[in-house]
Amino acid sequence: MRADFTGAHLLHLAAAGCVLNDLYREAGPLGITLDGVRVTARGGFDEGWASTGIVYSVELDTAASAQEQQALVERVDEVAEIPRALRVGTRVERR
């Protein structure tokens, strides 16, 4: 049976939610006002439910220049905790 949304898809949602939150957090110190943000994440899973990767995109509603927006997105890509953790990998154990 195939499901359109599974618990594994929460991995994508977590990455997108983290980026969204961090965009607002990091915008202030850079002097950027955000009127809105859209983060979209997509990815897949192989037959064994291993992630085939996550790709996210960001749309900003702001009066900031393209250079300022790029600096913000790059900063968030460096500091967003969940994407950082996923990039390095992690062990998951049951005890």
Distances (CA, A) of 72 to 9, 15, 25, 33, 81: 26, 17, 10, 11, 15
Reported confidence tier of residue 23, pLDDT bands at 50, 70, 90: very high
pLDDT per residue as tens digits for the range 54-90: 999 999 999 999 999 999 999 999 999 999 999 998 8
- In this prediction, residue 50 carries a pLDDT of 83
Q: Where are the beta strands (DSSP E) in 9-70?
A: 34-45, 51-62
Q: Return the residue matching tokens 């996550």.
A: 54
pLDDT per residue as tens digits for the range 35-48: 999 999 999 888 88
Reported confidence tier of residue 91, pLDDT bands at 50, 70, 90: confident
